[in-house]
């Protein structure tokens, strides 16, 4: 939350904002780097696998039906 506030007010120097909010600059940059890493979720892997398994022809409705048949519940 604090790091988000610092990011929003980037008109000021990062070091000043960190000092005012009593957080370290290294902590800010670590949180920023962590937030930028892409998250690979299990659901996206399952959707992609169903899409590839069906020769890239299935749309969202068919993929959801396919996953339901495998006992995987997710929205469209």
Q: Is the pLDDT of residue 6 over 60?
A: no
Banded model confidence at residue 27, pLDDT cuts 50, 70, 90: confident
Can you give the C-alpha Rg of the chain in angstroms?
Answer: 21
Distances (CA, A) of 17 to 29, 34, 38, 51, 53: 13, 19, 26, 46, 50
32 & 42 share domain? no
Contact (CB, 8 A) for 63 and 47 = yes
Give the structural domain span for 73.
38-76
Tokens representing 59? 């749309």
pLDDT of residue 9: 57
Q: What is the pLDDT, as a whole number, of residue 44?
A: 85
State how many domains the chain has: 2
Which structure tokens are listed for 51? 């899409």
Q: Do residues 6 and 21 both lie within one domain?
A: yes
Average pLDDT for 53-75: 89
More confident of the two residues 4 and 76: 76
Instruction: Give 72's pLDDT tier (boundaries 50, 70, 90).
Output: confident
């Amino acid at each position: 939350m604090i790091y988000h506030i610092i990011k929003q007010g980037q008109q000021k120097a990062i070091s000043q904002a960190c000092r005012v909010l009593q957080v370290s600059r290294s902590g800010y940059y670590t949180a920023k780097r962590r937030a930028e890493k892409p998250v690979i979720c299990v659901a996206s892997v399952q959707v992609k696998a169903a899409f590839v398994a069906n020769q890239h022809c299935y749309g969202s409705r068919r993929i959801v039906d396919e996953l339901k048949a495998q006992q995987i519940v997710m929205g469209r």
